[in-house]
Every structure is written in structure tokens, then in C-alpha cells.
Amino acid sequence: MIDACDPCLRRALLIAHLAPRIAGLLGGGERRAPGLLALPEDDLIAAAAGRRLERALAFLDALDMAAERERLATGASSAVCAHADAYPPLLRDLADPPAVLFLAGRADVLYLLRDEPSVTVVGTRRASPYGTEVAYALGRGLGAAGVPVVSGLALGIDGTAHRGCLDGGGVPVAVVASGPDVVYPRRHRSLHERVCHEGGVLSELPPGTEPFRWSFPARNRIMAGLARMTLVVEAADPSGSLITAEFAKDLGRCVSAVPGRVTSTVARGTNNLLKDGATPISGTEDVLDELFGVGVRSVADPGAPPSGPDDRALRTVLAAAGARDSVEAIADAAGMTVAQTRAALGRLELDGHLVRRDLGGWEPVAR
């Protein structure tokens, strides 16, 4: 359903029309478009259209709103403008709120974002296994606790947070830099589909629009604007994730980060955020405490049983596996033979207490 007034829709279509011009205008160096998207229509045309002023004005004149509405309805399942009841109210805090939000996915996502506090989880595309694991665990924990997880559908941390949220039975919300129906990156085709099915993909750009370099930091402001908290899992410095964190800070929202290894380049951004006063996050519980107050909502683990294994030998192996890498070391610590230890490890994995790392090695399930 297209719940948007003509002026707002016109503006969204104009931005899509000017998108290649804006890219040229910003050049390669400056990736953000400060203030540009906040300009009134005429100033925006004047600033962005340049020598193509005539063509931009002709485009606006030729717009057949009825036909456009019909076209948009096929690419997006719904659209809301800033004047609609379902428009996420938190977005109005932005200096340049998107005129229209296009949605591919479930229509109730917009009401959920309006009524429930949500968390934006972002991070690097080049995630380490540690970052991947933490992003997944946080996505899953928040999803299971009923908190919508907002992210950018990018490779690395973003995609993993979405997956975790899906596996936790939660509602994933993706904010993308293209039209909501355009899959980018291509490798996330099936993830895009699953997010649409269980949650929604949002964009200020109308269906069919390809992504531009400037539209990534532009969508970052929407991610920061939608959520009560922006949580950075792993980020280099400088990086897009830090741009998102900065938007969140400017809005007065909570900015939090997962501590990383000081020697890792993908932890430099997050560790610097922490030095600047961001809230350190070491698990889902920390996020819930920050959002709802300490102890108000607690972590619900959807998969693994909350208590440890009942067998004493299994508990010993589980404890040993957390601190050691090799089967032999685990066996030594548990005082068992390698064969017994192997059997215990297989059992613990099957019962959901351990996950196996990619090529051998086990670690306890993150909670």
C-alpha cells in the first residue's frame, strides 16, 4: 500500500533521478552528502542538477503521479511518507529525514519500529571469525528477546547480524542503499529474500534504483535514526560503521561497541569508540539492560537449554573446551582418554553446548 502524499513521492523520485548527478557532484574523496538531502526541492535541483537543470525540471513536469504510484506498488510492498501515521517517529529527529520510506517485506515492520525499541547492529565487511561469532550471537539473542535488529545487509557483520536475528526467530530490518527490491551485494540474494519474508527491507530510494557511493552513508543516517541504540561490532577507522555511530551520537542516541583485540585493524574503530565513551557490550544482556533498564528484560535462548549438561564428565569437558584448542589438551585437563574426550565433544556439539570451529577445534556457544 502506498501511503504517501504527492509532494513527498515527487521528492523521492527526484532524488532517484538526480542520484547519478549527486555521485558526480561529490566526486571520489567526499563520500557524505552533508546537508544536500535536507535542501528544499528547488535548492536541491539547483545544487545537484548543474547544467542539467532543464532536464531535471522537465522530469518533474512530466511526472504522472498516478502512473508512478502504480509502478512503485509492484516493486515495493508498501511506502510511507513523513506525513503518514506509520512513518517511524524516531526518524523525524534527523535534520534530513527521508521523504518516503519504501518497504519490501512485511507491512507490520513499520508499526513494530514505531512501537518497539530497536537496535542497529553494524560493522565491517571484512569481519574476523570473532566478530562474526559475536554479531551472530547478538543478532540471535536480540531476535529471541523480541527486539528488531536493524542492519545494512552488507557482507560481514551486517549480514551475520541479520542471520542471527532470523535464527533467533526475530524480526530483521535491513536499510539498503539501493531500491528495496534491488539485491546488493548479489551474494546476499537468499538473505535478502529471507529478510523480506520475516521482516522488511527499507530504503528512501524507490524500487529499481541501483546503489551509488553516496547512498551508503546516506542510508547510514536512516539506520542510526531508526534505532534507540547503534551497536558497532567490528569496524576499521575510518569506516562506514563509524559514520553510522557518529549519526547516532549527533541524534543523542546510545552508541555502543564490542571490545576487540587491540592489535586487530578491524577493532581499531570499535576500541576508539569505547575510549570516546561508547557503552561496552559483551553480550545480549548488556544491550537489553541499556534499552529497558537493568534486569527488566532477560535473554531468552531459543536453541540451547539454559542449563549445562547433566553429566559430570561432560561438564568437565565443556569447561576444558572453553579454554583450550587441542583435543589432547582438553583430554589432559579432563583426565580422560582422547577417545572418551572425542565422544564427549561429539555429544556436547549435538546437544548444542559447543560449536565446532571451521577446521577442528570447539568453543562454547556464545550467549
Residues at the interface with another protein (CB under 8 A): 126-129, 131-132, 136, 155-156, 159-160, 163, 187-188, 264, 266, 325-329, 331, 338-340, 342-347, 349-350, 352, 356-361
Kindly tell me which of 51 and 312 has the beta carbon lying closer to another protein.
312
Smallest distance, another protein to C-beta of residue 69, A: 37
Kindly tell me which of 23 and 343 has the beta carbon lying closer to another protein.
343
Smallest distance, another protein to C-beta of residue 290, A: 25
Smallest distance, another protein to C-beta of residue 257, A: 19
* Residue of 40, 107, 119, 118 whose CA lies nearest to 80: 107
* Helices and strands (DSSP H and E) totals, the chain: 15, 12
Helix (H, G, I), strand (E, B) or coil at 259: coil
Smallest distance, another protein to C-beta of residue 145, A: 21
Q: Which residues are within 8 A (CB) of 66 and not within 5 positions of it... i.e. 6 or more apart?
A: none
- Whether residue 206 is preceded by a cis peptide bond, meaning omega within 30 degrees of 0, is no
Kindly tell me which of 278 and 345 has the beta carbon lying closer to another protein.
345
DSSP annotation of 96 reads S
Smallest distance, another protein to C-beta of residue 342, A: 4
Q: Which residues are within 8 A (CB) of 282 and not within 5 positions of it... i.e. 6 or more apart?
A: 258, 259
For the CA atoms of 224, 225, 228, 234, the dihedral, rounded to the nearest 10 degrees, stands at 0
Strands 172-175 and 200-203: parallel
Kindly tell me which of 88 and 164 has the beta carbon lying closer to another protein.
164
Q: What angle do CA 281, 110, 147 make, to 5 degrees?
A: 25
Smallest distance, another protein to C-beta of residue 31, A: 22
Strand partners, 119: 149, 229
Kindly tell me which of 106 and 163 has the beta carbon lying closer to another protein.
163
- Whether residue 185 is preceded by a cis peptide bond, meaning omega within 30 degrees of 0, is yes
Kindly tell me which of 24 and 361 has the beta carbon lying closer to another protein.
361
Smallest distance, another protein to C-beta of residue 188, A: 8
Helix axes 215-226, 240-250, angle to 10 degrees: 40
Kindly tell me which of 184 and 292 has the beta carbon lying closer to another protein.
184
Q: Which helix (H) or strand (E) holds 290?
A: helix 284-292
* Residue of 50, 93, 37 whose CA lies nearest to 249: 93
Q: Are 221 and 90 in contact (CB under 8 A)?
A: no
Strand partners, 367: none
Kindly tell me which of 50 and 352 has the beta carbon lying closer to another protein.
352
Smallest distance, another protein to C-beta of residue 56, A: 39
